[in-house]
Structure 1
Amino acid sequence: MAEQRVRWGILATGGMAATFAADLVDLPDAEVVAVASRSEASARAFADRFGVARAYGDWASLAADEEVDVVYVATPHAAHRAAAGLCLEAGRNVLCEKPFTLNVREAEELVALARARGSFLMEAMWMYCHPLVRRLAALVADGAVGEVRSVQADFGLAGPFPAAHRLRDPAQGGGALLDLGVYPVSFAHLLLGEPADVVARAVLSEEGVDLQTGAVLSYESGALASVHCSIVGATPNAASVTGSAGRIDVPDGFFFPERFVLHRAGRDPEEFAADPADGPRASLRHEAREVMRALRAGEKESPLVPLDSTLAVMRTLDAVRDRIGVRYPGESDGRAGEGVGEGPGDGPGEGAALLTPA
């Protein structure tokens, strides 16, 4: 593989799949060789659009294609476990969109399967692969702001989304938390690791998914992280990390930033800017490069997006859902929150009197 282009298969044909395929076009060492959908017509239309040689009307054919080095799973997240699992069972390497799965149980199953098969597996947390986010994390790790005291991050869309939209559909893992909240939670995890305790509140829709959710994550170090997500209001989509010696502000689009500012007492603010080549057009290119680098190096997971971190984030998302009382079809009551701050008053639906249907 080190001497040839990496051959990609794309499973699904929606917006994320199209964006990813467009980004791969600009990478000379990448080639999309196959696409799959549950609809042969959809797969063929996608293949024609992006010049892909093979179009499959079922997932299993793509999973069995031995000329595919790695599959990008871009289905709605309720199908991630099934789609990624099918590919791993067939011996394919997998890059799976975020949120990795609906819950940590499904995530653990995929990780165990990849490790048993000796296949590469990575969550498509492109934020972790962005050079400016990596620079921010390195500055924090090097003590630029001192000991981290707090992290804040939010991600909200204006909506409104109709009841029939997937973001309102429990069967598709709808709600703000899994679609948008995964970014603030992952940002906090990047800087502070896994929380010791989780407190959360939400506004739920009539369908039972969260329209907006706020959570406070607490850590053994004494640090706190405040995260918020919404599908009923456009938030600044900003983030900050405050320490004993300074603060870093990411003013807009923290998950794919153009700049951030380091503030330290007695010094002028320092602005760090992204390379102009890392604009929106390059949104998924960095994670694709990281996957290909890892495959050529023979690695089974990426050090930038390690599987243990993915599992930790899923545990936190489960804990938040446990606190706000959101369940998806087929989930058991004992699924969420295990091992994450299970103190008195932190059980399923705690604080339900504060929940207001839309």
Structure 2
Amino acid sequence: MIKNIGIVGTGDIATQFVTQIDTKKYNIHSVFNRTSRSLINFTQIHDLTNGYTDYMEFLDDDALECVYIATPNQTHFKYAKEAIEKGKHVLCEKVLVLTASEAKELYRLAKEKNLVILEAVTLFYMPLYEEVKRLMRDGVLGQISGANITFGSCKEYDINNRFFSLEKGGGALFDIGPYGLSAAVYLLGTDLDLVATSAVMAKSGVDEKSVTILQNPQGQQASIQLSFRGKMPKQIVLTGDEGYLIINDFPRAEVGVVTFNDGSTKVIEKGHAKDVFTYEMDMLNHLSKRPETSEVPDVRDVSLRVLELMDDMRESWGYKLFK
């Protein structure tokens, strides 16, 4: 079992990981941060002993089995590739990388070395979504028509903030887009294609809001609305000819409600949001044993398809990555 985890980064999400993961199952073995002051502060607060400001030295530790990457988007590819080359499994915060070609390179390299790399899109791992897939297979909603997905917040424009920084891989697409697009692809399949997309761009060159329509060969459609310029519910509405399912606060949702055509309802409840990082590591261990995963989508396939769709969306918008 893969137990010893090294944290890359010392920000808010790294703090959540360290404080919420089940330490009876997993061990926070070490931490890397380029800034010694942040590293010392983080290790002291969380009572950790193995701290590094040199990434190669951090990776050279033979006891380290898995690297959790919790740094800004533009750093993910470099840190993940170097970790895989050193024989470490990788759990990387969203967005995994900035292009589908980078993802393909990492997946190829990981496969060659019998390693697993996963994107930490929380909805992939919350048990509620496995239950939703089961309900879909069982026809509880009837013939699935499509999904409507919204995710938005109102952020003050600041070119120095990573949310609006082209250099740091900013924009709503790379920040909250992985949630919206991953929900669509996870539920409706990797054969979803881009039908139409429109974005409003910030002065810094990143997207601040967008509306996108996807469709698969079965005629199922998904609409995804993302925004940094207006608050919207974090909501999935999955529709079928027998009823619809609403999931609120969807990245880490524990509850969904089905409303049937006759007005009756059914509550679906499964999982605990506080355990999401443990669920992520559980999945990494599950996939490292090379099991058959026919009933649950292989989230690596979902991540790759989402990045391919993002490539298409950015091309349509004229969003040029920082070089």
Same fold (TM over 0.5): yes
Q: Would you say 1:181 and 2:177 are equivalent positions?
A: yes
Structure 2 counterpart of 1:242, one-letter code: T
SS at match of 1:29: coil
- TM-score of the aligned structures, taking structure 1 as reference length: 0.85
The superposition leaves residues 193-231 of structure 1 with CA deviations (integer Å, 9 ceiling, x where unpaired) of 131333110111101101101100121111110001111
- TM-score of the aligned structures, taking structure 2 as reference length: 0.93
Q: Would you say 1:11 and 2:8 are equivalent positions?
A: yes
Residue of structure 2 in register with 1:248 after alignment: 245
Give the Cα–Cα distance (whole angstroms) in 2 for the partners of residues 71 and 328 of structure 1.
26
The superposition leaves residues 222-258 of structure 1 with CA deviations (integer Å, 9 ceiling, x where unpaired) of 11100011111110111111112221111x2111113
Confirm or deny: 8 A CA contact 1:71 1:93 kept in the other structure. yes
Residue of structure 2 in register with 1:288 after alignment: 281
Give the Cα–Cα distance (whole angstroms) in 1 for the partners of residues 77 and 9 of structure 2.
14
Instruction: Give the stretch that moved more between structures: 189-198 or 124-133.
Output: 189-198
Residue of structure 2 in register with 1:90 after alignment: 86
Q: How does 1:155-234 map to 2 (within 5 A)?
A: 155-194=151-190, 195-234=192-231
Confirm or deny: 8 A CA contact 1:77 1:172 kept in the other structure. yes
Structure 1 counterpart of 2:243, one-letter code: G
Q: Would you say 1:54 and 2:50 are equivalent positions?
A: yes
Confirm or deny: 8 A CA contact 1:120 1:301 kept in the other structure. no
Residue of structure 2 in register with 1:72 after alignment: 68
Change (3 A) 1:309 1:153: same
The superposition leaves residues 294-313 of structure 1 with CA deviations (integer Å, 9 ceiling, x where unpaired) of 44x46699965432222111
Q: How does 1:320-335 map to 2 (within 5 A)?
A: 320-330=313-323
Give the Cα–Cα distance (whole angstroms) in 1 for the partners of residues 41 and 298 of structure 2.
32
Residue of structure 1 in register with 2:236 after alignment: 239
Query: For structure 2, which runs of at least 5 residues remain unmatched after alignment?
Result: none
> If each structure's strand is expressed as a fraction of its own residues, which one has the higher value?
2
Computed over aligned residues only, the root mean square deviation of the Cα atoms, in angstroms, reads: 2.0
Q: CA deviation at 1:60?
A: 1.4
Seq. identity, %: 27
Change (3 A) 1:260 1:319: same
Give the Cα–Cα distance (whole angstroms) in 2 for the partners of residues 198 and 123 of structure 1.
25
Structure 1 counterpart of 2:62, one-letter code: E
The superposition leaves residues 288-330 of structure 1 with CA deviations (integer Å, 9 ceiling, x where unpaired) of 23224444x4669996543222211110111111111111113
Q: Would you say 1:144 and 2:140 are equivalent positions?
A: yes
1:104 to 84, 95, 100: 100
SS at match of 1:109: helix
SS at match of 1:172: coil
Residue of structure 1 in register with 2:303 after alignment: 310
Confirm or deny: 8 A CA contact 2:121 2:251 kept in the other structure. no
The superposition leaves residues 12-65 of structure 1 with CA deviations (integer Å, 9 ceiling, x where unpaired) of 1111111111112x3301111110011223222211121222100022122221
Instruction: Give the stretch that moved more between structures: 214-223 or 303-312.
Output: 303-312
**Runs of 4 or more above 4 Å deviation:** 298-305
Residue of structure 2 in register with 1:20 after alignment: 17
Confirm or deny: 8 A CA contact 2:81 2:106 kept in the other structure. yes
Change (3 A) 1:7 1:298: farther
SS at match of 1:201: strand
SS at match of 2:104: helix
Give the Cα–Cα distance (whole angstroms) in 2 for the partners of residues 123 and 307 of structure 1.
7
Confirm or deny: 8 A CA contact 2:89 2:115 kept in the other structure. yes
Give the Cα–Cα distance (whole angstroms) in 2 for the partners of residues 82 and 114 of structure 1.
14
Q: CA deviation at 1:9?
A: 0.5
Change (3 A) 1:81 1:103: same
Residue of structure 2 in register with 1:355 after alignment: none
Give the Cα–Cα distance (whole angstroms) in 2 for the partners of residues 161 and 10 of structure 1.
30
